[in-house]
Amino acid sequence: MFVRITLADTQLRIEVHDSGDAPPHRRQAPATAETGRGLLLVAALADDWGVEERRSPGNCVWAAFQHSTAPAC
């Protein structure tokens, strides 16, 4: 698993790559569960997000966050 973070113009993009066999999906976790809410949180917080299949085995889950100004260099 690895993480890639990019900042371009007014968008911050975070990608998490894994080697899983099946694409991840949002699920409804029981109130007492300690896991199973990752994609629900991503969907609630990100401006946009998605899942892409990688060329090698695995998936890439990405989330994009917009901000109002370009970073100063």
The side-by-side arrangement of strands in the sheet containing 48-53 is 2-8, 11-18, 59-66, 48-53
**53 Cβ partners below 8 Å, 6+ apart?**
23, 59, 60
Q: Model pTM?
A: 0.79
The pLDDT tens digits of the residues spanning 38-51 come to: 899 999 999 999 99
The confidence score (pLDDT) of residue 62 equals: 96
The pLDDT tens digits of the residues spanning 5-62 come to: 999 888 999 999 998 888 888 888 888 998 888 899 999 999 999 998 888 889 999 9
54: which DSSP letter? Answer: -
Helices (H), the chain: 38-45
